[in-house]
């Protein structure tokens, strides 16, 4: 979908009018309407409640307008217009006395559909919104496209989206923005990135593991590394998941989807950074050569890791990728990963858990997440829990046991990042279990817009 076509500058074109109100202003608005409109409003039980919609008659035959309820007319909420964009028929619309502002993105995403595997998809024409703030359209469209990319990749079944497909996506993005892609696989991966190799070595040949790197930008600019966990399917390995836990594991590459989408956003917005995107891609499968509980693997950094649980594999692939980012002199590292169920138990599906070794970066990200209506929740790197990762026979275990699972997973990653390099770890769900306006059930970008806003404010385009 071409999201930049869904919102256009208002140059006086013919359009259906949308009246926006809320509960507190509803009676005053209604009092100004003609009898026919008041009758229609009463018949449809419209009272200005958030997400309520009513179709209103007009003076001329065949013409009509819309009444839409929002939470607060005085504040343009991101999702205020999303249900309208989903529900209204194909056509062109104009807002009456309402600033679209932040709601532009919600209007675009309200029209997102995933129908790649439907033999007879229910296709609808575009709902185009005319606005008085044309300068906002391009950025809203970029963010809508990035969000849609995350959703598309996460929704795609694992049989059609293995590590090779993530590589192809990285190359597509690189070609569009004149970036460079490097892929390490096979024997070089085994020798140079032993944790990534160990996690993915049991997969079929066509789903062989690899490290995918994309580089873009002026080498003189600050080097920013974006790292994504790309476990394209997670059986749990020999510590196999139950069927209920495995059903959604096509989404375990959600971190990689975020990294790819964020990389494209950074390049499209021409942020003055030297971008280094790293996707550690593997399928955690089961076969005779799968890694075993009790195995000890020496990481790229040289830290030996005892495999306490083969289902704690995402942190393993991230560890080798983080090491490479450090070797290449990253000045800021942000990783995305669908890492722990513990984060979901603590915070639910909508709140990514954010860990950072730099308080100033964490504070900046929290402010950006609030401004972007893309919430994050700051979690502690609680050092006393590091002992939960102790191993009797290796430098560390890969699992900290039953307590504080999201914290111990982050602490494991911290072992691979020096204290003097600002680092952020986002444990995101990348999935929406139920639908909301503009946010259908399925793959979802959670934390993407918050991080992009932070980067755009930290490294403003010139």
CB 336 within 8 A of CB 255: yes
pLDDT in tens, 390-409: 999 999 999 998 899 999 99
Is residue 255 predicted with pLDDT exceeding 90?
A: yes
> What's residue 85's pLDDT?
95
CB 376 within 8 A of CB 369: yes
- Report how far residue 302's alpha carbon sits from residue 230's, in angstroms, rounded to the nearest whole number: 22
**Considering only CA atoms, which of 145, 117, 108, 89 is closest in space to residue 8?**
108
What mean pLDDT is reported for the chain? 96
Tell me the pLDDT band of 59, cut-offs 50, 70 and 90. Answer: confident
Average pLDDT in the 376-385 region?
Answer: 98
Other Cβ atoms less than 10 A from the Cβ of 72: the count is: 13
Average pLDDT in the 20-29 region?
Answer: 94
Average pLDDT in the 61-72 region?
Answer: 92
Is residue 76 predicted with pLDDT exceeding 90?
A: no
* Exposure letters 196-209 (e unless 16+ CB within 10 A, then b): bbbbbbbbeeebbb
> What's residue 190's pLDDT?
98
Tell me the pLDDT band of 101, cut-offs 50, 70 and 90. Answer: confident
> What's residue 97's pLDDT?
83
Other Cβ atoms less than 10 A from the Cβ of 71: the count is: 14
Q: What percent of the chain has a predicted confidence (pLDDT) above 90?
A: 93
Tell me the pLDDT band of 99, cut-offs 50, 70 and 90. Answer: confident
Q: End-to-end CA distance of the chain, in Å?
A: 29
Is residue 133 predicted with pLDDT exceeding 90?
A: no
> What's residue 38's pLDDT?
95
pLDDT in tens, 412-424: 999 999 999 999 9
Tell me the pLDDT band of 462, cut-offs 50, 70 and 90. Answer: confident
CA 231, 235, 238, 241 torsion-angle sign: positive
> What's residue 69's pLDDT?
94
Tell me the pLDDT band of 123, cut-offs 50, 70 and 90. Answer: confident
Is residue 122 predicted with pLDDT exceeding 90?
A: no
Average pLDDT in the 348-365 region?
Answer: 98
Average pLDDT in the 314-325 region?
Answer: 98
Please tell me whether the overall predicted TM-score, pTM, comes out greater than 0.95 for this model. yes
> What's residue 149's pLDDT?
98
pLDDT in tens, 205-235: 999 999 999 999 999 999 999 999 999 999 9
Average pLDDT in the 38-58 region?
Answer: 94
Instruction: Tell me which residues are annotated as active site.
Output: 241, 315
CA distances from 118 to 13, 378, 441 (A): 35, 39, 16
Average pLDDT in the 44-65 region?
Answer: 91
Average pLDDT in the 363-382 region?
Answer: 98
Tell me the pLDDT band of 124, cut-offs 50, 70 and 90. Answer: confident
CB 211 within 8 A of CB 280: yes
Is residue 271 predicted with pLDDT exceeding 90?
A: yes
Say how far residue 157 (Cα) sits from the centre of its chain.
17
> What's residue 173's pLDDT?
98
> What's residue 75's pLDDT?
82
> What's residue 62's pLDDT?
83
């Amino acid at each position: 979908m071409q999201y930049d076509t869904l919102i256009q500058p208002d140059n006086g074109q013919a359009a259906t009018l949308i009246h926006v109100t809320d509960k507190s202003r509803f009676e005053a608005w209604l009092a100004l309407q003609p009898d026919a409109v008041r009758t229609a409003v009463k018949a449809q039980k419209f009272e200005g409640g958030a997400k309520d919609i009513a179709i209103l008659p007009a003076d001329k035959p065949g013409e009509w307008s819309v009444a839409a309820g929002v939470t607060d007319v005085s504040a343009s909420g991101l999702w205020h217009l999303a249900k309208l964009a989903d529900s209204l028929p194909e056509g062109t619309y104009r807002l009456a006395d309402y600033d679209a502002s932040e709601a532009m993105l919600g209007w675009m995403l309200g029209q997102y559909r995933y129908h790649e595997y439907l033999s007879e998809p229910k296709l609808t024409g575009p709902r185009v919104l005319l606005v008085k703030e044309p300068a906002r359209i391009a950025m809203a469209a970029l963010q809508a496209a990035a969000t849609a990319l995350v959703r598309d990749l996460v929704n795609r079944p694992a049989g059609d989206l293995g590590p090779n497909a993530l590589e192809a996506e990285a190359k597509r993005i690189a070609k569009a923005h004149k970036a460079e892609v490097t892929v390490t696989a096979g024997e070089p991966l085994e020798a140079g990135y032993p944790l990534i190799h160990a996690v993915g070595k049991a997969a079929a040949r066509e789903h062989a593991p690899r490290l995918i790197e994309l580089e873009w930008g002026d080498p003189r600019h600050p080097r920013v590394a974006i790292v994504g966990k790309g476990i394209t399917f997670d059986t749990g390995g020999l510590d196999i998941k139950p069927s209920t836990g495995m059903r959604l594991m096509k989404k375990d590459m959600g971190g990689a989807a975020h990294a790819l989408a964020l990389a494209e956003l950074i390049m499209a917005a021409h942020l003055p950074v030297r971008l280094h995107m790293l996707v550690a891609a593997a399928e955690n499968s089961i076969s005779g050569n799968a890694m075993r509980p009790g195995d000890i693997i020496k990481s790229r950094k040289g830290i030996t890791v005892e495999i306490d649980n083969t289902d704690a594999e995402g942190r393993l692939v991230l560890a080798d990728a983080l090491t490479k980012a450090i070797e290449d002199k990253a000045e800021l590292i942000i990783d995305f990963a669908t890492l722990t169920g513990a984060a979901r138990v603590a915070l639910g599906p909508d709140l990514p858990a954010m860990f950072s070794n730099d308080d100033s970066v964490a504070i900046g990200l929290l402010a950006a997440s609030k401004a972007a209506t893309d919430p994050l929740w700051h979690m502690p790197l609680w050092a006393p829990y590091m002992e939960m990762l102790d191993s009797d026979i290796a430098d560390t275990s890969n699992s900290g046991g039953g307590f504080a699972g999201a914290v111990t997973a982050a602490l494991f990653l911290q072992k691979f990042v020096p204290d003097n390099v600002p680092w952020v770890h986002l444990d995101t769900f990348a999935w929406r279990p139920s639908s909301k306006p503009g946010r259908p059930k399925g793959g979802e970008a959670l934390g993407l817009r918050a991080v992009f806003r932070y980067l755009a404010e930290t490294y403003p385009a010139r």
